[in-house]
Structure 1
């Protein structure tokens, strides 16, 4: 598997909206989530991932469950990419208290290398789902950012899929492109996933400070790749990926 992430793309992904001219977004709402009430759903799980395109560190999946009968909006929440680090840190505990239940699951760089990114996303999402169930909440429906359902168990497991689990997400999963920008439950999930993953990357930075993970969070910045050229990959790098963008 090969993934080449331009440094400029990675830098933009980590920059808050005010540093990216032209970014405009309306506040996400629960309008789309509430359409599922007509299907008899009460508890909806908004799901989003972070770290998919990084060269190092885990891929992380956040879940924020809302009660479609009584949930009120939460001011200030946006897709995590549109918030500054300080804004995300301020909002994270608010999102946790606002949600009926919330969780973040992770799959390590080694698991990404062994399973592939889609199966690793499913593994991280299943770990978060297990925590939701352990909290005594069983969502009726899932709203997943994007166009591909990587959360449900694979119908035809391949050699690269994670082992099946009794705690896999069996609720109906609905995908929506740009759900993280339009749907409050998914935006909330993105905030808690981003904050928790960033905290992990700052911890890993203390082990390998030359890579600048406290700043780039494992994405492919120029400084990150310079450190890779000088020191080589660490145990936290996704070594099955093309880490140097064609230079290896």
Structure 2
């Protein structure tokens, strides 16, 4: 198993920023529930990360819970932001990711001050606001930040790996809580993803208020054209 470290963060910190935030999302491909974005912040004096820290997908549920507590005490600051299924339907998945990311950054900046450098997992910068005049309102636009993307950042960068663990743990708890009132969908087990029990419940019961209704949900039919136009690939 690949273990994350702080090499990428320290290299960027040597260029001048006082703080670097690692960011990762969870729930992007789910059919129901929010999309969640985690952030962990490090500085030049941050000690090495908890031993064994890696992408949340490579950890068991028990290991994620253990690392969640370790990351919260290790990071300079941390936060998780969420955007609901209704918001995903409103502005598309990219706009919702941006909202959740800005909410997470607002939480960490309340604790540690402005963060001007963000390491983002993957190859696509969904955090930087688009040009004015598109679908997204000024409410979705945060302060200007330098963003660097890194493929497999959740495996390579400790701050990004920590962010993935925090986001996964919080979102799992949200889906387990939502499952209590929507037992047929099995969200306590599948966390809103397209598992067989979830798909069968969609076919027999239809979507709930927590489903992403602008998506082409299996067994439900096509999304409305107006909703599909809101989606950003």
**Corresponding residue number in structure 2 for 1:111:** 87
Indicate yes or no: 2:116 matched with 1:151.
no
Q: Quote the offset at 1:94 in angstroms.
A: 1.0
Q: Please give the per-residue CA displacement for 1:26-63, whole angstroms capped at 9, x wherever unaligned.
A: 21111111111231123110000000000000000000
**Corresponding residue number in structure 1 for 2:46:** 70
Give the stretch that moved more between structures: 184-193 or 89-98: 89-98
Gaps of 5+ in 2: 223-233
Q: Quote the offset at 1:72 in angstroms.
A: 2.2
Indicate yes or no: 2:173 matched with 1:199.
yes
Gaps of 5+ in 1: 1-24
Q: Is the 8 A contact 1:123 1:162 kept in 2?
A: no
Aligned equivalents of 1:38 and 1:176: distance in 2? Answer: 18
Corresponding residue SS for 2:21: strand
**Corresponding residue number in structure 1 for 2:156:** 182
Corresponding residue SS for 2:211: coil
Aligned equivalents of 2:110 and 2:49: distance in 1? Answer: 25
Q: Is the 8 A contact 2:46 2:76 kept in 1?
A: no
User: Which of 1 and 2 has higher RCO (CA within 8 Å, sep 6+)?
Assistant: 1
How well do the aligned residues superpose, as a CA RMSD in angstroms? 1.6
Indicate yes or no: 2:11 matched with 1:41.
no
Q: Is the 8 A contact 2:118 2:146 kept in 1?
A: yes
Q: Quote the offset at 1:88 in angstroms.
A: 0.5
Q: Quote the offset at 1:71 in angstroms.
A: 2.8
Indicate yes or no: 2:213 matched with 1:239.
yes
Aligned equivalents of 1:140 and 1:41: distance in 2? Answer: 7
Q: Please give the per-residue CA displacement for 1:115-168, whole angstroms capped at 9, x wherever unaligned.
A: 000000000001111111211332231100011111122223412x244357x1
Moved over 6 A (4+): none
1:131 aligned to which of 94, 98, 107: 107
Indicate yes or no: 2:172 matched with 1:213.
no
Q: Quote the offset at 1:90 in angstroms.
A: 1.2
Aligned residue-pair number: 222
Aligned equivalents of 1:70 and 1:211: distance in 2? Answer: 42
Aligned equivalents of 2:143 and 2:155: distance in 1? Answer: 23
**Corresponding residue number in structure 1 for 2:139:** 164
Q: Quote the offset at 1:73 in angstroms.
A: 2.3
